Chains A and B, each alone.
Chain A
Amino acid sequence: MSHAQGEAPLIHMEGVEKWYGAFQALTNINLSVRRGEKIVLCGPSGSGKSTLIRCINHLEGYQKGRIVVDGTVLSNSMKAIDAVRSEVGMVFQSFNLFPHLTILQNCTLAPMRVRKADRATAEATARRYLDRVRILDQADKYPAQLSGGQQQRVAIARALCMEPKVMLFDEPTSALDPEMVKEVLDTMVGLAADGMTMICVTHEMGFARQVADRVIFMAKGEIIEEAAPETFFSAPQHQRTREFLGQILQGH
């Protein structure tokens, strides 16, 4: 793990609270992510994992606290949101590829619209990242013609085409057939090896052991525990973490 000492964190969340109406989805979230750091976020269903990472690129607003991404304070202003979104890539559980566009067009759209790249440049970038996720030969197909694993790798390439500084993954393998999980995880491991800053919501504990610098456990909208993977798995501090790990490991 390489990071300059004393460097400002890439993502900084401080006392973040979020409500859906009267329901509090996040309570006092404090989280700093250094450049190049890999975080795995886990916890029971409904614990607020998705909500937390969706606050980072303002797919969800938050009501209290502060989020700073690469020096930009994330407020409700369009300018701040734009600045943050151009540095933050996101991969969804359900892929969310654009079904009416080809794989290549999926990857060139945002660079052309948001970064104002010309088509040739955008396509060259897209081909580079599609090659990196080993799917370049499918560039002219439509998403529905690809398998789930292939689609998710395209989704990763699409996000990378914006050359983000950090990648958010929300259960990227949960919607996949078991035999396709590995190809997506391998892609993510490769990304991690290249030094990408990553926050991954996942229950793939093998991936967490292999890649994570820190594992964070959430329950009921709060961060309950965080530790390096060795410590997290071998000596969880909290009862709820132990129960959760018990369930997860049983399921696998």
Chain B
Amino acid sequence: MSKGFGAAEFLFLLEGLKWTLLLSAVAFAGGGVFGLLVALGRTAPYAAVRRAMAGYIAVFQGTPLLMQLFVAYYGLALLGLKLPAWVAVAIGFTLNASAFLGDIWRGAIEAVPRGQDEAASALGLHYGQRMRDIVLPQAFRIAQPATVGYLVQLIKGTSLAAIVGFIELARAGQIVSNQIFEPILVFGVVGAIYFCLCWPLSLLSARLEAKFAAATR
């Protein structure tokens, strides 16, 4: 039933792209929120909290994402949590992204000079205010290139969701390719779609970097 690469095949790829985008967005949003908590915990004034967060980061950075997705997908089901597949996978990606973003932002928070926090303390600002108004805005600027770099990795990494049966962009490409026997063409298109997603992000990041640099120089 080989019929070449037509509109139907392209739509099938776009259907896969939808999942890639959705998983990336959920993982980045979830990873953003929980990663921030991880970063704050990792730099908290309490040793126990710091150690717990260091352990979390070590586990999720030190094991394959693939394995984490398996655990999220099958493990949660074994625990009796009946979740839709995409929710389970999104949880897996979120946990992983939290560890990586948390570690990136931890480093950035620590890179903000101590004097900034001290000056804010001397002015009477509390921890939350110091973080929100002084430390985090500077930390995010420092972390911005690494954060976008991670986001790009994440978008490409969602292809691992195929392992638990997800038909995201890469898997959709594989299916189409198997149908029409034109792997070079199909994966060329798939690659181009990934590129169109990731390249603008890198460009935007470079633009922002230049803008921040200009504003503070």
Contact = CB atoms under 8 A, between A and B. Distances in A.
A100 B134 CA distance: 8
Contacts of B177: none
A158 B134 CA distance: 15
Nearest to B117: A96
A32 interface: no
Given A100-B141, A113-B129, A142-B216, A85 B123 contact: yes
- Secondary structure of the B contact surface, majority rule: helix
A59 B217 contact: no
Interface residues of A, number: 27
Given A98-B134, A109-B133, A113-B133, A92 B123 contact: no
Contacts, number: 62
A219 interface: no
Contact of B119 (A88, A96, A144): A96
Interface string B111-150: 0010110111111110001000110011001000000000
A85 B134 contact: no
Contacts of A88: 122
B127 to A, nearest CB: 10
Interface in A44-71: 57, 59
A110 B125 contact: yes
Interface string B195-217: 00000000000000000000111
A114 B217 CA distance: 29
A92 B119 contact: yes
Interface in A64-104: 82, 85-86, 88-90, 92, 94, 96-100
Interface of A: 57, 59, 82, 85-86, 88-90, 92, 94, 96-100, 109-110, 113-114, 142-145, 155, 158-159, 162
